[in-house]
Structure 1
C-alpha cells in the first residue's frame, strides 16, 4: 500500500521522445503534509513549450504549473517553504526572479539559486522545484 500520493504520473519516454529513457516518475508527491514538486519548466502539461528563448515567459509557465500541482495536491502557493531555481545563464536571473517574486509575494520561502550548464532539453532556460508544507487546519477552497 503506497504511503504517499503521487500526482500526474508519467513516463520519461513520453516527456523526452528524443532520448531513449524509460523512467516512471510523477510531477508531485504528497507525503503527509509535505508536498514535493518536481522541477517545473516553461512547458505546459500538454508538452507545449511556452516562451522559446524567453526566460520570463518560461518562468511564468513554470509557476502556473507549480500552482496547479499544489492545488491538485490539496495545497496552495502560500504553503511553499523552499524553492530551488536553476538558470542556464546568469543574465536570466533578474527576469526569472522578478517573475517568481510576483507569484510568491508575501510567502517568504527560503530559496536556493543555481546557474547550471544546461537542463534536460537545450531550449529550457530555467527550472524551479518547490517544497510546501500544508498546515494541519487547512481546508482547500
Structure 2
C-alpha cells in the first residue's frame, strides 16, 4: 500500500511552549483512506481563531479539513468517520451545528466526547476525520 504524508511538521514548532519533538503531519493517505490530524482553532499559519467561540473554532477546523482532504485527493463527501472532542457540554450544539452544515448529506459515523482539556488551553473543540476515496470506475 502506498502512503503519502501531507504538511509534515514537528511539534516543537506548533507547540513551542511545550518540550516536544515529534515528527507528524496534517494528513496521511494510505491507499484510498485519508486520515486527518485533529483539526482545531489553529489555522495553517499557526494563528488561533475564535478564542472563546466554539462555533468560530469549528468553522476554522472544517475549513482546514476541507483543504487537507482536497490536498490528499478526497472531498468532504468522502468523509466516513468523525470524532468530535469538546471541553464543555454547552459547546455541543454550536459545534455540531457547524459540523452538520459542512457535512450535510454525507452521513458519516460520529462519536462525541467531552474532555477535560486539549493541546492548548484556548482550544474548545477538536475534530478527527477519516475519509475513504471511492476509486474511479
TM-score under structure 1 normalisation? 0.95
Match status 1:41 vs 2:63:
no
Q: d(CA) in 2 for partners of 1:3 and 1:33?
A: 9
Structure 2: segments with no counterpart, 5+ residues: none
Number of matched pairs: 137
Q: d(CA) in 2 for partners of 1:44 and 1:121?
A: 13
**Residues 78-100 of structure 1: CA distance to partner in whole angstroms, max 9, x if unpaired?**
00000000000000000000000
Partner in structure 2 of residue 30 of structure 1: 29
Partner in structure 1 of residue 79 of structure 2: 80
Partner in structure 1 of residue 70 of structure 2: 71
SS at match of 1:56: helix
**RMSD after superposition:** 1.1
Alignment of 1:79-98 (within 5 A): 79-98=78-97
Quote how far apart the aligned CAs of 1:28 are.
0.6
Structure 1: segments with no counterpart, 5+ residues: none
Quote how far apart the aligned CAs of 1:3 are.
3.5
Partner in structure 2 of residue 120 of structure 1: 119
SS at match of 1:40: coil
Partner in structure 1 of residue 9 of structure 2: 10
Structure 1 residue ranges, 4+ long, deviating more than 3 angstroms after superposition: none
TM-score under structure 2 normalisation? 0.98
